Amino acid sequence: MKEMERLLERGNAFLNTRIPIISGAMTWISDEHLVKAVNAAGAFGVLAGGNMPTTELERKIRTLKNTEDRFGVNLITIAPNYAEHLEMLCSQEVSHVIFAGSFPKASEIDRAKKSGAKVMCFSSTVQIADRMKSYGADAIILEGSEAGGHIGPVATSVLIQEFLFDVKEVPIFIAGGIVSGRMVVHLLLMGACGVQMGTRFVASEECTASQEFKEAFISAQSKDAIVTPKFDSALPVIPVRALKNKGMVNFAKLQLELLKKLERDEIDKSTAQYEVEKYWVGSLRRAVHEGDVEFGSLMAGQSVGLVRDILPVKKIVERIWSEMEDELKKIREILQ
């Protein structure tokens, strides 16, 4: 279809893909195996930097560069190893760098661009999106609160109206709550250059997460993916969306304990925030690698309720493509 080619043209050109779907970077999950599988399916794989040792991240990047001509590397700006990660990455000449966690400095975006990479930045509000654009980001990933993991405060549907409709200078990719090819087509028609999906690719055969982790996704409903509470502004934490379990309850208890320590001046705010992130990193690893779905963190977007099978990545992308074609035909029939 010529219409489909036109819809996909800008996103595919930016990502060097056949279908402009980004596999969202998920700590402990988005490794080199998933990147290769996603790339082979014609979409765009992203390696999650998380807070892994810099030498380990460099090894993974070098391994991917042996076979892949394009892939993204996701850097978490609030990770303790962030500065080292960025320094190393700028010497690796990767095709795309994605800043996440919080917003990077303009100088950091500039450094990444000077290394030859295209730079993408997450934005969870229109204010952040405007700032990242002014800082020189080559593309924006507009992520709504339906997404999994650390999230912002605004729904995807509102962000689209606040930012996507009015901005043409940079490519915009939409993330948060997206699984079906039908939705992808409508987002492309609204002006998006592509989408990001994370939760859908967890339930893939190539994903190295534990079987227990994947099965928790398959059996979950959309309403089970809830946001962590925030008890007091004295302890500013970025909300996390995950499946409700005892690990979520324990996080609430941890916040209350940290708030008491802050009141007694036993710890400072930065230490408290570090303990929060340490909790999530450890509990996510337990769930992903050890299969502890009771006390580990099951970070998932609300789209988890639409994920009902574990398939090879190739089949996932093929299904999305087929759904896109069918939906575009329906739209054409409606408009005739």
Give the count of domains, the chain. Answer: 1
CB-CB contact of 320 with 181 (8 Å): yes
| pTM exceeding the 0.75 threshold for the entire prediction | yes
Asked, for residue 293, whether it belongs to a domain, the answer is no
- pLDDT digits 0-9 by tens, 236-295: 888 889 999 999 999 989 999 999 999 999 998 888 888 888 888 889 899 999 999 999
For residue 149, give the nearest of 297, 303, 6 by alpha carbon. Answer: 297
Find the domain containing 21 and state its range: 2-208+302-335
What pLDDT does residue 1 have?
64
Domain containing residue 117: CATH number: 3.20.20.70
Asked, for residue 66, whether it belongs to a domain, the answer is yes
The CB density around residue 115, as the number of other CB atoms within 10 Å, is: 16
Looking only at the bridges linking them, the beta strands covering 118-123 and 194-197 are unpaired
Asked, for residue 316, whether it belongs to a domain, the answer is yes
Longest dimension (CA), the chain: 69
Asked, for residue 285, whether it belongs to a domain, the answer is no
Asked, for residue 296, whether it belongs to a domain, the answer is no
Asked, for residue 274, whether it belongs to a domain, the answer is no
Asked, for residue 270, whether it belongs to a domain, the answer is no
Q: Which residues of the chain have pLDDT under 50?
A: none
Asked, for residue 204, whether it belongs to a domain, the answer is yes
Cα 255 to Cα 265, 279, 294, distances in angstroms? 15, 10, 19
**What is the rounded (10 degree) CA torsion for 167, 122, 202, 205?**
70
